[in-house]
Amino acid sequence: MSSDSTPISSNFLRSIIEDDLSNGKHGTIVTRFPPEPNGYLHIGHAKSICLNFGLAQQFGGRCHLRFDDTNPVKEELEFIESIKESVRWLGFEWGEHLYYASDNFEQLYQWAEYLIQQGKAYVEELSADDIRIYRGTLVEAGKESPFRDRPVDESLQLFRRMRAGEFPDGAKVLRARIDMSSPNMNLRDPVLYRIIHAPHPHVGDSWRIYPMYDFAHGQSDAIEGITHSICTLEFEDHKPLYDWFLENLPVPSHPRQYEFARLNLTYAVMSKRKLHELVTQGTVSGWDDPRMPTLMGLRRRGYTPAAVRTFCERIGVGRSDSWIDMSVLEECVREDLNESAPRVLAVLRPLKVVIDNYPVDQVEEFEAANHPQRPEMGSRVVSFSRELFIEQDDFSEAPPKGFFRMSPGNEVRLRYAYIVRCTGVIKDESGSIIEVRCQYDPASRGGSAADGRKIKGTIHWVSARHALEAEVRLFDRLFTDPNPDRGGVDYKQFLNSDSVEVLPAAKLEAGLSSTDCETRFQFERQGYFRLDPQDSSPGRLVFNRIVTLKDAWSKK
Ligand code: ATP
Ligand code: MG
């Protein structure tokens, strides 16, 4: 990860691990990234991935990828494959350490029987509604279930019959017998197992009962020998339960749970349900729509894994909830691409320019540096001819004060080529300019005047007869409000109706004909772009703008 520009700074988790290693508590650290395979990963998950895999890398330990797959109804193989691909895309590798909580189902079942035998779990027959009522509230103790003190043997027999599939969904549950008056609701006899007659994407149809997340998570950590079980702050209230299981079961190790603040990003929604809604309602083209905060979306847009890693490092890891502005992510992408992206000339909204005094059949080639600060990136030739395209907004018939680009009577430099002076325009019947006429200064080859006169403006151009045509897609934020998901309002009212602009006939310099999706370019003065991997094909170039050259939002 040496290419990442942000140096590794300290955070409270690094300090804890340094202490644990230096005082000999652990010889090696083991972390894990534990997604539930019920959706696609988003930029928030990237924070957790970079943190867990990053700590393991930094301290010479290892990080496991574990699917916390305890709910067969919402989980799918497709999500498992996509999650693996996204973690790899980010640049991390779990090697042989791929685990599934469901691979521990037999062991978890045995431990559930063990708790029953110890008098620490019982089969509950109250309805789900009654269980909720009996549980009490934050200010009121819970009430003990009439089934709480049933004989151990009775619970054991019923639990075995639950496993055998003798009861319908919801008829019974297994509960831990902890403390119905605990101030921590998680300790009021939490449910450990429920009956679900549904096959499981990883272990097939061998089970009729499934463990709850809380009963599977910590024990899976213990089985894998996780040393530091790092999760987001909402699990802080679950920690006493996490520890209770580990203390009351014959587990092979006792991991420690640490919580950190989740990533909240402005101008985005990150809840799986809302992202799902955007997809199913057709607001976006899919999970990999380039405007989505999913890793698939960022990837398709053209964000680099290095930029996402830099972002995760830069935002830091703390214990208080905070909001990160979208511009921080965009700036990380910009910095990375500024270093690495070759520069090219591309005209997004073309306006035709004819140089009247340039020979009709003449073509000249100019050398253009691929990167202004990095000569090792080499150069290429760009072809110049009598008819060119420039950007529509680089021409003004009645220029405002301070406009140094092309306007009647004014001189402007065509990047790498010549100085030209605009002599007039041609309009259609409706009065729109369809062509601009110019004269070039043959003594200004390369772009500087022989007599040393100063030319203030430089614009980019593409030779009409050499140009490639492409569709270019410009993206903006999906929401107009920094906090669309603030609650109490419908986030959809903040959808940005201009979040994508399609330019159907952009003109690109000819060298781009042989590009691939891996190469990101700077289109000079327009931003960073790359081919869309889905919609481009041999006869059709479709470019996505990854990010603008400057933060356009700070001016809005
Ligand atoms: P849900 O709980 O709604 O299914 P989730 O986004 O928490 O969604 P998980 O699969 O449980 O999905 O997440 C996997 C890991 O990623 C967890 O350790 C979780 O804490 C972490 N994670 C999820 N969202 C964020 C976020 N916004 N910032 C940091 N870490 C996150
Ligand atoms: Mg979760």
Q: Tens digit of pLDDT for each residue in 416-428?
A: 999 999 999 999 9
Q: Identify whether 272 is a catalytic site residue.
A: yes
Residue 301's pLDDT is 97
- Reference 532, options 322, 352, 294, 290; nearest CA is 290
User: Across-strand partners of 369?
Assistant: 379
Q: Residue whose CA is closest, atom 13 of ligand 1?
A: 35
Mean pLDDT, residues 204-224: 97
289-333 pLDDT tens trace = 999 999 999 999 999 999 999 999 999 999 998 899 999 999 999
Pocket flag, ligand 1, residue 233 (CB < 6 Å): no
Pocket flag, ligand 1, residue 34 (CB < 6 Å): yes
146-178 pLDDT tens trace = 999 999 999 999 999 999 999 999 999 999 999
Residue 3's pLDDT is 44
Mean pLDDT, residues 201-230: 97
Residue 552's pLDDT is 64
> How is residue 511 written in tokens?
């060298």
Q: How many angstroms separate the CA atoms of 350 and 503, rounded?
A: 10
Residue 404's pLDDT is 95
43-97 pLDDT tens trace = 999 999 999 999 999 999 999 999 999 999 988 889 999 999 999 999 999 999 9
Residue 550's pLDDT is 87
pTM of the full predicted structure?
0.94
- C-alpha 35 to ligand 1 mean position (Å): 7
- How much of the chain, in percent, has pLDDT values that exceed 70? 98
In this structure, are strands 433-440 and 458-459 parallel, antiparallel, or unpaired?
Answer: unpaired
Ligand 1 atom, smallest distance to 271 CA: 3
Q: Identify whether 262 is a catalytic site residue.
A: yes
Residue 2 has pLDDT above 50, yes or no: no
Q: Residue whose CA is closest, atom 8 of ligand 1?
A: 272
- Reference 230, options 189, 208, 260; nearest CA is 260
In this structure, are strands 433-440 and 419-427 parallel, antiparallel, or unpaired?
Answer: antiparallel
Residue 551's pLDDT is 73
Pocket flag, ligand 1, residue 263 (CB < 6 Å): yes
- How much of the chain, in percent, has pLDDT values that exceed 90? 94
Residue 1's pLDDT is 40
Q: How many angstroms separate the CA atoms of 556 and 549, rounded?
A: 15
Find the range with the poorest average confidence among 34-38, 459-463, 511-515, 529-533.
511-515
Q: Are 420 and 449 in contact (CB under 8 A)?
A: no
Mean per-residue pLDDT of the chain: 95
Q: Which CATH architecture has domain 346-463?
A: Beta Barrel (2.40)
Give ranges for CATH 3.90.800.10 in the chain: 105-213
- Reference 132, options 177, 171, 180; nearest CA is 180
Phi, psi of 360 (to 5 degrees): -55, -45
478-508 pLDDT tens trace = 999 999 998 889 999 999 999 999 999 999 9
Mean pLDDT, residues 236-242: 98
Residue 55's pLDDT is 97
Residue 6's pLDDT is 59
Residue 435 has pLDDT above 90, yes or no: yes
In this structure, are strands 121-124 and 419-427 parallel, antiparallel, or unpaired?
Answer: unpaired
Give ranges for CATH 2.40.240.10 in the chain: 266-340+470-556, 346-463
Q: Residue whose CA is closest, atom 23 of ligand 1?
A: 45
Query: What is each CA distance from 200 to 16, 105, 172, 204, 211, in whole angstroms?
Result: 37, 11, 20, 5, 12
- Reference 296, options 287, 305, 306, 307; nearest CA is 287
Fold of 266-340+470-556: Ribosomal Protein L25; Chain P (2.40.240)
- C-alpha 212 to ligand 2 mean position (Å): 13
Ligand nearest to the CA of 68: 1
332-347 pLDDT tens trace = 999 999 999 999 999 9
CATH code that applies to domain 105-213: 3.90.800.10
Residue 554's pLDDT is 54
